[in-house]
Every structure is written in C-alpha cells, then in structure tokens.
Structure 1
Amino acid sequence: MSDLRDLLEKHTGPGAAPGAVALVARGDRVEVVAVGDADVAGATPMVRDSIFRIASMTKPIVAAAAMMLVDDGRMALDDPVGTWLPEWAAPKVLRTPASPVEDVVPAARAVTVEDLLTFRAGIGFPDDFSLPGVAPLFDELKQGPPQPQSVPAPDEWMAALSRVPLLHQPGEAWLYNTCSDILGVLIARVSGRSLPEFLAERLFEPLGMTDTGFAVPADKADRFTGCYRADPEDGGLRLLDAPDGQWSRPPAFPSGAGGLVSTADDWCAFARMLLADGSVEGSAGRGAGGRRLLSVDSVRRMTTDHLTQAQRDGGRLFLGGQGWGYGGSVDVAAVDSWNAPGRYGWVGGTGTAGHLTPSTGAVTVLLTQLAMTGPVAGPFTQEFWRYAADA
C-alpha cells in the first residue's frame, strides 16, 4: 500500500485536499488507503468508511435503477417519457441553439427513456455556457453544483421544466447533467415509490450499501467530511458545506444528477454488481444470495458508448473525447496513459471519481473533499488513475 499512500499524501494537506480515501479492486484483491483529515481543522482523521458527497458519481447509480424498471417490464427504452411526465409530453425546442428563449418550435418527436439515459433528450449543459437557453437551467431548474436544500419538490420542479425550452431536438446532441435529474423523477413516477425509497429497496439494501443515501443521519455525522473549494484570493480553502449543512436532512428534491453521499466501499459494491451482472466476476457484488440485480443486456447497454463522433465532439468540454453509455462515460480509446478502452464511470464535481473496467474486472474509487475547478479531472485524479492502471 505504500505507493498508493504516498500518492494520496502527495496531494493532501495544507493548501490541498484535507484528506482522501482511495480504493483499487481487482478480483479478490482490494487495496484501500485513507489519509489526512475529514476537515481543515484536523480534528477528525479520515477513515476507510468516511462519508463523502459523491456528486455526479450518483448518475451511474440512477441509470442502473432505471434499467431495473426496464428489466421489470415497467417501461421500455423507446417509450415516450411523457406517458409518466405529462409536463414534458410536448416540449418546445429553440429554433437554433443560439436563439432567444422565446424563439421556439415544437419537438420533432417525443423524448424517450433512452434519450434520458444517453443525455440526448435535448436539454442540459452544452460546451458554450453563453447561449441564451442555458440561463434557465440555473435559474429555473437549479442546475449546477449540488444544493439539495435549494431545489423544490419534484412536481414543482417538473412544472419549471415544462417552461424551459430544449436546446436541441431530441436525439441530436449530447448535453450534460439535467437528464439524470429528470430520470430520477421518472423512476419515482413509474415505480410509485420516491427515488430514495426505490434506490434503498432495489440497490442499497441488496448490496449492503449502508452509508449511501440523500442525507446523513445524526448517528453517522462523525464520519461525514466537510466540502471545500480552493480560494484563488488567498490560496486557502473555502468551506462549501459542513457535516451539519445541506445533507444533514432529507431534501425535497432527491437529485439523480448529484445528490448522493457514499463511501468508497459502498460505491465499489455498486460497481462490482455491474461487473457481476455483466458476467465478468461471477457472483461478486450481486445482491443477497447472489441474486442478479440487472440483466446482462442492461449492463451491456449501460457500459457501451451510444454516441456518434459528432455528438462526442459536441460535448468535448465534459467528455474530453470519450463516449457515453447510460449515466456514465465510456472510454472509446486509450487517449491517455490512464484510459482503458471500455472503462465506465464518472467523476463528481466535489472531487470524486469512480470507474470500472469490464474487460479486467477492475474498480477504482477516489474520494476527496476538494471541489473540481472545471469539468476536467485534475492532476490528483489523473495520477490516481495511472497508479490504478499499473496496479
């Protein structure tokens, strides 16, 4: 473990992330290292089961939940989502992506379940944030960094969604983030359960993900880390959320795009479920009694790139040239030393990353409390990926 510990200690401490937890698993070998502290005060040492805001690492989990409903026959990939989301039965589309928000035309076709899973529903963040149609994503839909206590309940949020025009026609372009929040509402309406209830019953409890949810109960607050952003003015860290802050109570809107908290071992259990149900690792990571949680076909669809080259190029700010499956990126080429073709997963804006590689059965998880400064993973994360690739 010394090499991984050295790597984590190199990137934590004064002026950097206060601490970190990293996990690298392949087969029966699982390497986990925790270094530093849970906050800048240094009063709480980081431990293996420290709890983090995993932000966009939520997206693959919510995509898997949606595929459970597909496996159940409750909905199909080509079903129009307006069946369950009447607020979005007839969305309007900007005449061009650069048009004013009042200049709209009808959608050429219905938005489908698969459009949401592949982020091609026509709504979300483009590479150009200056487009007029981007502002309503922040103002009306409260997109951006997770802020669970600032977003209205799902029905009110969906009413706001009905007023926001699509940037592109359904199926045309890949746009980041918003589709996962819509998917969370869809899961709740199709299942008749709230998103937290559905995830707990169908994923977290069967997989033993005891520390994953949309809030941290009081009896676990001592393991909940602070969340920080680098302050460019003084070079220090600015507190974004404390353990008794926005995740200390359940939110009105459980965000499928970035609302979960979790631990390294919990997210690894989720990843190993995908590997097992994709026929890579036998029964490891399945539910109680080795029960399959997802069909092989659903896992294959989740971990397969569905984008055209033009769609990958159009989302380069976030994708960096990689592809997108359902709820997570798919490495389509070894463009860097840490890429492995077929690797699936995603990063979180709060300084987290989780991936699995179906071809090798590897799982990698890095959890820090230092928020990303942009959509591209920083040196710490990239060095961790290189270590994991060689491990």
Structure 2
Amino acid sequence: MKKILVVLLSMSLTACVVSVNENSGHAQQESSTSQAIGTKQGFSEQRLLRINSKMQEYIDEGKLAGIMTLVSRNNQTVHFAAQGMQDKDAGIPLRRDTIFRIYSMTKPITTVAALTLWEQGKFHMNDPISMYLPELANLKVYVSGSGENMVLEDAKYPIRIIDLFTHTAGFSYGFSGSEVDKLYRASPMMQGKTKPENVLAELAKLPLNHQPGTQWNYGVSTDVIGFLVEKLSNMKLGEYVKQEILTPLNMQDTGFYVPAEKAQRFSKVYNNNKEGKTAVMENEPLGDFLSDPAVHNGGGGMVSTIDDFLIFARMLLNNGEVNGVRILGRKTVEYMRSNHLPAELLPYRNSAAGEGYGLAMSVTMNTDDVKFMSSEGNFGWSGAASTYFRIDPVENLIIIGMAQFIPVGTHPYSDDLRNLTYQALVDEK
C-alpha cells in the first residue's frame, strides 16, 4: 500500500470518430473529416467535434500532456479522440491501446467483485465487517483533542459492510487537516511499511473519524472490501477479479500492474513541479505499477485502457450483461447504482449538489441541483490521476475520459467533456 495516502486524495492531435463492430473488442477508426457530418445515435457529429477543440485547449496551454475521450450510446461508439502525448519527453503520442492508472475507478470493479459474492449469499449488507475481518472489532471513535490529550470513545455500532460500500464507516485517507488524518499520515500502513498480513491490524489502531453510519467520509473503505473479497474467495483480489470479471469480459489490459511486455504502452503520469509547470511526476502514488504488488489495493490500485473500461461500463449500463456474458443480475446492478445515503447526509459533500451515493459511485438524484447537463440516475466516479466515467441509463449513454495528471480536478477537462457530450444530443425523446 505504498503511498496510498497520496493516490487516494485525493506531437500531434489524433482525433477520430469511430465505427465499432460490436461483435469484436476493437474499433475501426475513421478520420472525422472523411465522413459526411450528420447525426449518429441521436448525436450531432458536428457538435461532437467541440469535444476535440476543447480538449486540445488543455493540451496547447500545457496543462495536460494528453487526453483520451470516448462517448458510447446504444452500445455504439459515437465519438473517440486520442489527443496529445502518452510521454511528452519521448515524443510518444496517445494511442487507443495506451494503458492508464485508473486509481479510484478501481472502486467500482472491486465492488462488482464483492457483489458477485453477495449474490452467492456469502455475506449480508448489514453484517458487521468484524464477522469476516475480526481485526476490525472494537474500534475507537475520535471525540476531541489531539496528541496525548486526544479523547476517544467506543464505537456505538459496528461497521456494517454497507457502510464500507457507501464510505460511511468512519475510515479516512489522511489528506485533511483533522487530528485523525494526522494519525493516518503517521501510520506505517499509510507509509507502505506494513506487511500485507498486518495491514488491517494497523488500520484498527487508528480511531474512526465519526460513529459508523453517521457521516460520509472518503477513505480506505473499498480497500477493506478488497480484503473481504480475499477472505470469502480464498484468492488474492486480483486473481478473483480476473476470474470473475476481467477474463469473462475480455478486459485483457486491466489489472493491478502492467506486465513487462506491455510497458511501452503505459502512460507517464504528470503533476505540477516546483515551478508550476506540468512535468512527469516523481515518486508516483502506489509505486511504478510495473510489478505485482504485495497488496492488491481495492480502492485505487488498477490500470486499464479506455476500451477495457468501456466494456465494464457497458456491462453496468446493460444491467450486468455485455456481449452475451453476464457478470451480475439486473437487480444487483440497480442496487449498486441507487442512492444509499439517508436524507440528512445529502449531498455527500458540498461540491456534489444534487448527488447521492450508491456503492462506490455517485448517482444523480436531482438534476435541478446538479451543475451539469444530466439525467436522473446518472452515475459514475473518477480517479486520482484524472480519469473519469459517467453512465446515463436514461439516455443509454457512457462517457469516459482518460488523462494522467495528479491531483484530479486541477484541470477540469472532465467537466467540459460531460457538458460537451450532452450538448451534442439532438434527437427527440
């Protein structure tokens, strides 16, 4: 879990519109200028070109090295663009098969893995997590004070598995200025100095931010879900995910590290250096992703390609099935993408007006409050290195953006991508 704290915080234009053979896993690319400008699956192709123009601004201004964008509707890809560089210094452009660190977009994948076990009756949502991971029994909760004067109390209720899925357990990531987060930052667990078998014991030494179930607080909850999957399956998380999700869906470039034979396709990750310039990040979160880690980080440890993640997103949009392969039942997916927070915890954070929270993803509950074009029930999440996805069941629509800049939100290309996608819809409902 090397440097998990940091991650869990928080050439040329190659733009094309693509036509996809849905019975294969690959797209046949066509230059956008080689087609007549018309409509496709209810989108104005002319309006979709605005996505390319706006993304190119981020690249030309030196904010982002490269951006890949994809829009799918009715299981047809209507827009794809790979703009800018995979590696600026080496002059390597983004390609469709570029591999990205997806960080917290790992959470929905880990969640689906856990839900396959839920469907088998391996656990119930109201079960205390300590039933399966006894290290997490008898936790303490922060009350007040700091250091030697810190006041703690017993947890009034056990952490339930549903609390982990919804980030209401009380765990943290350590990136706020709170007294609890100071303890997280000092913890050997968060510094990558803990053996895999001791991670949960170290986590149990840290007080919860709040009583379980009483607040939304983004933290290592999905990492704990990953340990639950391992316990119930008797497999390492990556092995179970590969068996139950990646191999059935033919997601060949997704996993917890990049094999040596694929390393040339792995994008560099960028941040702002001391001079405020975009530069390759040193000491990137969770290591270099080039070897199989001792701990498979269920909250942020995976890599993927845009086409692999498209398959996963289509599975969720299609109620658990894609290309004739079923991963989850319809009602399970409906449960995953439904809000599970009580009214008093909405919105789950100040920047998420109109949004609720499902299992490892936000979900739009009130389009009047959301500051984007949207539909009720729209759901998705993002990753620390500026990856992004949203799925809209009303419009049968998927939006995916892949960039590699930490921290996420520094350059809000995904906000533009979302609105620029919706403004291109011109069909009649």
TM-score (norm 2): 0.81
**Cα deviation, residue 158, structure 1:** 0.7
CA RMSD of aligned residues (A): 2.5
In the alignment, which residue of structure 1 is the partner of 2:314?
A: 272
Distance 2:178 2:281 in 1: 30
User: How far does the alpha carbon of each residue in 1:161-210 deviate from its partner, in whole angstroms, 9 at most, with x for none?
Assistant: 11011111111111103111111111111111110001100111111111
In the alignment, which residue of structure 2 is the partner of 1:379?
A: 412
In the alignment, which residue of structure 1 is the partner of 2:335?
A: 301
> Contact 2:86–2:92 at 8 Å: present in 1 too?
yes
1:44 aligned to which of 92, 95, 116:
92
Deviates more, 1:308-317 or 1:161-170: 308-317
Which letter maps to 1:61? Answer: I
In the alignment, which residue of structure 1 is the partner of 2:36?
A: none
In the alignment, which residue of structure 1 is the partner of 2:182?
A: 135
In the alignment, which residue of structure 1 is the partner of 2:212?
A: 170
> Contact 2:268–2:280 at 8 Å: present in 1 too?
no
In the alignment, which residue of structure 2 is the partner of 1:35?
A: 83
Distance 2:309 2:165 in 1: 20
In the alignment, which residue of structure 2 is the partner of 1:362?
A: 397
Matched residues, number: 373
Distance 1:384 1:80 in 2: 40
Distance 1:320 1:177 in 2: 20
Q: Call closer, same or farther: CA 1:377–1:271 in 2, change over 3 Å.
A: farther
What residue ranges of structure 1 are gaps of 5+ in the alignment?
A: none
Give the 3-state SS of the residue equivalent to 1:54 in structure 2.
strand
In the alignment, which residue of structure 1 is the partner of 2:43?
A: none
1:388 aligned to which of 390, 414, 421:
421
> Contact 1:226–1:241 at 8 Å: present in 2 too?
no
User: How far does the alpha carbon of each residue in 1:116-142 deviate from its partner, in whole angstroms, 9 at most, with x for none?
Assistant: 11111121259x922211122233265
Give the 3-state SS of the residue equivalent to 2:92 in structure 1.
coil
Distance 1:339 1:377 in 2: 22
In the alignment, which residue of structure 1 is the partner of 2:360?
A: 327
Q: Call closer, same or farther: CA 1:151–1:191 in 2, change over 3 Å.
A: farther
Distance 1:231 1:309 in 2: 41
In the alignment, which residue of structure 2 is the partner of 1:23?
A: 70
Distance 1:187 1:154 in 2: 15
Give the alignment of 1:287-298 within 5 angstroms: 290-298=324-332
Which letter maps to 1:315? Answer: R
**Cα deviation, residue 219, structure 1:** 0.5
> Contact 2:171–2:208 at 8 Å: present in 1 too?
yes
In the alignment, which residue of structure 2 is the partner of 1:350?
A: 385
Distance 1:325 1:202 in 2: 22
In the alignment, which residue of structure 1 is the partner of 2:223?
A: 181
Distance 1:337 1:141 in 2: 40
**Cα deviation, residue 61, structure 1:** 1.1
Give the 3-state SS of the residue equivalent to 1:156 in structure 2.
helix
**Cα deviation, residue 238, structure 1:** 4.2
Name which one, 1 or 2, has greater alpha-carbon Rg: 2
> Contact 2:172–2:184 at 8 Å: present in 1 too?
yes
In the alignment, which residue of structure 2 is the partner of 1:12?
A: 59
> Contact 1:152–1:252 at 8 Å: present in 2 too?
no
2:193 is aligned with 1:160: no
Give the 3-state SS of the residue equivalent to 2:97 in structure 1.
coil
In the alignment, which residue of structure 1 is the partner of 2:33?
A: none
> Contact 2:249–2:325 at 8 Å: present in 1 too?
no
Which letter maps to 1:90? Answer: N
Structure with more strand by fraction: 2
TM-score (norm 1): 0.88
What residue ranges of structure 2 are gaps of 5+ in the alignment?
A: 1-16, 18-48, 425-429
User: How far does the alpha carbon of each residue in 1:286-310 deviate from its partner, in whole angstroms, 9 at most, with x for none?
Assistant: 5xxx242112221111101111343
User: How far does the alpha carbon of each residue in 1:210-231 deviate from its partner, in whole angstroms, 9 at most, with x for none?
Assistant: 1111100011011100001023
Distance 2:383 2:53 in 1: 23
Give the share of equivalent positions with the same residue, in percent. 31
